[in-house]
Amino acid sequence: MKPLDMTGQRYGRLMALRLQPERGLQNKTLWLCRCDCGCDAVVDTQSLRNGSTRSCGCLQRETRHFRGSATNMAKVRTKIAKRSIAAVSGHSGTIDTDWDDA
């Protein structure tokens, strides 16, 4: 069976450049692709077409960096602190403002 010609087609950040002469695992057809960041990646046809591979790995690194940003980490620390206060005080996380000054 002749492989599908995907030369020049874009899949996420990847552009298919040429069919690779070797086969991948399970005898899958492989493509040499160029990512928008400039790196090359060898990806099988199915992964390109179903969207499971969209970049050379740069997208995952950028996403991981974004998820670990200072703002998000501050939110996580605040949630942990509120849970700790609630667990120690026996409250549901709200603070009672009715103080008995007497």
Q: Where are the domains of the chain?
A: 10-56
Report the range of poorest mean pLDDT among 17-21, 45-49, 83-87: 83-87
Region 62-73: mean pLDDT is 66
Comparison of pLDDT for 40 and 91, the residue scoring more: 40
Distant-in-sequence, close-in-space partners of 53: CB < 8 Å, separation ≥ 6: 11, 12, 14, 41, 43, 47
Residue-averaged pLDDT of the chain: 80
Given a cut of 90, whether residue 70 has pLDDT beyond it is no
Could you give the C-alpha distances from 47 to 28, 44, 55, 72, 95, in angstroms and in order? Answer: 10, 6, 11, 31, 51
pLDDT of residue 62: 78
Place 98 in a pLDDT band, splitting at 50, 70 and 90.
low
